[in-house]
């Protein structure tokens, strides 16, 4: 579809979603049980339910304040912990769950949360890539597979799906979302909720509660800087930001996570208008709200709350029900209630919501129902799960260009040079949100292509992408100096009929805290591409990336470009099947690709302006002086092999 036509889809009226009074349904039996339980709870035990601790692994934020493992165990015993995150595996979950159930006064089970973003152990493509499939059934299935593996590992609740609309590819977290369009974003959000939660009865021990995040406007942070302030008007809030959340709630979503940003000056974790007025009252959301990591405490650093007491009070009054690793609720809220400074009703509302989800998950009926070592072994990494993520991976690939029918590759008699260190990487294709998975477990593009044995495949790395192997916690350092492999790569290109170059970003270059100010191919890759092009222009460029890149040179010169994102565990098999024409790629871009960084933020659904076209043949119309104002590749772009 041409960009021009897409403008017809622009919708600009302030929608009514924020004003519709709705209610998620309550189960009267569960409500009665909650009444009975809450009548026995002390204020300490109630606030304890609102406290979540991290396990003892990698962290995405400031170091945990919950204390040492021993202190955390002690607090669980005292009934001062309602939930844990990043505890995983049947054995480990059982160990903490047993303390809560067997050693606390009331035996209230913990709810165990984890970031299951695009799979647990068996990884699907990154969420942005999945969105490129526009295939809601496949996306739902992918979330179902993720839920089954996470649940089999003892996890009850995922911090996903992420549904932040963003039009700014500089922001690293666009890889976690569904792109720039709130309508598509809403459809995908609901599909993912269905995939995680099933029919919302949780009768199956392989479904888990889902979380819509990050509420709200995280994708509109100034300058695409992580953890930044968002200044947005009501039109953007209602028409762009909120629709996916509303759609997820209508699908029966059980939890919502606040965002790190402020919205028009108010930190999201303390934003009563968003959390209480819109989410809980107008939309009738009856699950619970969890803060993002330490974001209640961060309200102090924002300059919004003067100290911990003020942060605790603002957050609970606004409607943040659970404190993720902020260490704020237990030490401060109990006293604030005892001193009459925070009304008991806010605590009761939060605790009721948290207990409700625990009851719904069946944790009170059998706190160990997710804990079955046999099931854990059978389900995680099963053949069926591998097949499902392969299907999703193939559906996520977008063919951006295919001049002279250079693709599909011929099945025999073709000499192929495969270049670029990403081609052999078994790590980068896993993306950056894979904390339940193991490093180096993806099928590489090299391994995928090697399965087509009747062709001469010559793999030459040519260029090492990064200086060292990146990790979840460190900055990716691209190789900007070492060109020693170029000559060997040129020789291979010269001898080849077709050159397949796998270039792009390392998987750890996108995701949280990975904002980039330059979206060109990082490091020496552009130079590498141009050098090879001089030797043999018959190039198929396979892109691995977590966001739109600025690839204007390649778009003009390179005959075939395949957008292969980071496709997860089955990456190499999916890419090989597409390159060889065994699968006709049908993905469509969920986000516009800019011509250059200056066009960002860019999206199809923008205002038309009073001077959209150049009617009078002079400069006084809405345009750029130095580049066409359309994107390089528009939202929804799709071509096919045959």
Binding residues for ligand BGC (CB under 6 A): 60-61, 115, 159, 213, 292-293, 512
Q: How far is the CB of 399 from ligand BGC (least distance, A)?
A: 31
Q: Return the beta strands (E) in 203-292 as ranges.
A: 211-215, 255-258, 262-263, 266-267, 288-290
Helix (H) or strand (E) holding 197: helix 182-197
Q: How far is the CB of 95 from ligand BGC (least distance, A)?
A: 21
3-class secondary structure, 457: strand
Q: How far is the CB of 213 from ligand BGC (least distance, A)?
A: 6
DSSP structure string for 583-626: S------SSPBPSSGGG-S--SS----TT-S--SSSS-SSS-SS
DSSP conformation class of 64: P
Helices marked H in 43-177 — which ranges?
43-49, 69-77, 90-103, 127-132, 136-152
Q: How far is the CB of 309 from ligand BGC (least distance, A)?
A: 24
> CB-wise, 213 or 353, nearer to ligand BGC?
213
Q: How far is the CB of 512 from ligand BGC (least distance, A)?
A: 6
> CB-wise, 293 or 635, nearer to ligand BGC?
293
Helix (H) or strand (E) holding 309: helix 308-318
> CB-wise, 292 or 531, nearer to ligand BGC?
292
Quick check: 337 and 344 in contact, CB under 8 A? yes
Q: How far is the CB of 101 from ligand BGC (least distance, A)?
A: 24
Structure tokens at 474: 């460190």
Given 292, 321, 323, 391, which residue is catalytic?
292
> CB-wise, 226 or 495, nearer to ligand BGC?
226
3-class secondary structure, 536: coil
Q: How far is the CB of 244 from ligand BGC (least distance, A)?
A: 15
> CB-wise, 52 or 200, nearer to ligand BGC?
52
Structure tokens at 601: 């933020």
DSSP structure string for 12-35: -SPPSGGG----PPP-HHHHHHHH
292 catalytic per annotation: yes
Q: How far is the CB of 369 from ligand BGC (least distance, A)?
A: 24
CB proximity list for 600: less than 8 A, separation 6 or greater: 167, 168, 169, 170, 224, 519, 594
> CB-wise, 76 or 117, nearer to ligand BGC?
117
Quick check: 561 and 581 in contact, CB under 8 A? no
> CB-wise, 512 or 563, nearer to ligand BGC?
512
> CB-wise, 66 or 462, nearer to ligand BGC?
66
Structure tokens at 637: 């772009």
Cβ neighbour number for residue 40 with a 10 Å cutoff: 9
CA–CA–CA angle 437, 443, 448 (5° rounding): 165
Peptide bond into 408 cis (omega under 30): yes
Is 558 exposed, middle or buried, given 0-12, 13-18 or 19+ CB atoms closer than 10 A?
buried
What is the spatial distance between Cα 501 and Cα 532, in angstroms, rounded to a whole number?
Answer: 9
What is the spatial distance between Cα 83 and Cα 48, in angstroms, rounded to a whole number?
Answer: 9
Q: Annotated active-site positions, please?
A: 292
């Amino acid at each position: 579809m041409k960009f021009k036509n897409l403008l017809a889809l622009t919708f600009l009226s302030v929608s009514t979603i924020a004003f519709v009074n709705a209610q998620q349904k309550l189960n009267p039996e569960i409500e009665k049980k909650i009444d009975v339980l809450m009548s026995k709870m002390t204020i300490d035990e109630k606030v304890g339910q609102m406290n979540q601790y991290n396990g003892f692994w990698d962290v995405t934020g400031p170091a945990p304040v919950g204390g040492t493992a021993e202190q955390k165990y002690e607090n669980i015993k005292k009934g001062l912990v309602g939930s844990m995150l990043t505890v995983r595996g049947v054995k480990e979950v059982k160990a903490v769950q047993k303390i809560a159930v067997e050693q606390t006064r009331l035996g209230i089970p913990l709810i165990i949360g984890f970031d299951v973003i695009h799979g647990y152990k068996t990884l699907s493509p990154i969420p942005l890539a999945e969105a490129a499939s526009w295939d809601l059934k496949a996306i739902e299935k992918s979330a179902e597979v993720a839920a089954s593996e996470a649940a089999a590992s003892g996890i009850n609740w995922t911090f996903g799906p992420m549904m932040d609309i963003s039009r700014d590819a500089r922001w690293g977290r666009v890889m976690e979302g569904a792109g720039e369009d709130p309508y598509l974003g809403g459809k995908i959000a609901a599909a993912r909720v269905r995939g995680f939660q099933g029919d919302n009865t949780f009768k199956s021990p392989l479904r888990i509660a889902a979380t819509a995040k990050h509420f709200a406007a995280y994708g509109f942070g100034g300058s695409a800087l992580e953890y930044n302030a968002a200044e947005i008007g009501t039109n953007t809030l209602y028409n762009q930001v909120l629709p996916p959340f509303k759609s997820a709630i209508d699908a029966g979503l059980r939890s919502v996570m606040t965002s790190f940003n402020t919205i028009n000056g108010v930190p999201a974790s303390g934003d009563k208008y968003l959390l209480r007025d819109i989410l809980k009252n107008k939309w009738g959301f009856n699950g619970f709200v969890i803060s993002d990591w330490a974001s209640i405490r961060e309200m102090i650093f924002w300059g919004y709350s003067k100290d911990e007491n003020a942060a605790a009070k603002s957050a609970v009054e606004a409607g943040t029900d659970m404190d993720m690793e902020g260490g704020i609720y237990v030490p401060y809220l109990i006293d604030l209630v005892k001193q009459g400074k925070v009304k008991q009703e806010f605590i009761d509302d939060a605790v009721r919501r948290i207990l409700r989800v625990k009851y719904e998950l069946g944790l009170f009926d059998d706190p160990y129902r997710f804990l079955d070592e046999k099931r854990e072994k059978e389900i995680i990494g099963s053949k069926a799960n591998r097949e499902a993520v392969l299907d999703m991976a193939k559906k996520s690939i977008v063919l951006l260009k295919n001049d002279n029918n250079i693709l599909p590759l011929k099945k025999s008699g073709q000499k192929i040079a495969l270049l670029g260190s990403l081609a052999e990487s078994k790590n980068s294709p896993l993306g950056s949100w894979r904390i339940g998975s193991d490093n180096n477990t993806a099928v590489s593009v090299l391994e995928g292509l090697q399965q087509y044995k009747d062709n001469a495949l010559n793999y030459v790395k040519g260029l090492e992408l990064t200086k060292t192997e990146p990790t979840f916690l460190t900055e990716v350092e691209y190789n900007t100096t070492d060109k020693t492999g170029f000559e060997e790569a040129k020789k291979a290109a010269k001898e080849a009929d077709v050159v397949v170059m796998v270039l792009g970003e390392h998987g750890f270059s996108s995701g949280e805290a990975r904002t980039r100010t330059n979206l060109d191919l990082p490091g020496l890759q552009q130079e590498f591409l141009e050098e090879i092009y001089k030797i043999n222009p018959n190039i198929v460029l396979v892109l691995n990336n977590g966001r739109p890149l600025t690839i204007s040179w390649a778009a003009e010169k390179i005959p075939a470009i395949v957008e292969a994102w980071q496709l997860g565990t089955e990456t190499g098999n999916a890419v090989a099947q597409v390159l060889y024409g065994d699968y006709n790629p049908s993905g469509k871009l969920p986000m516009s690709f800019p011509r250059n960084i200056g066009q960002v933020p860019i999206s199809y659904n923008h205002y038309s302006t009073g001077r959209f076209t150049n009617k009078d043949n002079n400069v006084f119309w809405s345009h750029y002086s130095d580049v066409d104002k359309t994107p390089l590749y528009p939202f929804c772009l799709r071509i096919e092999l045959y």
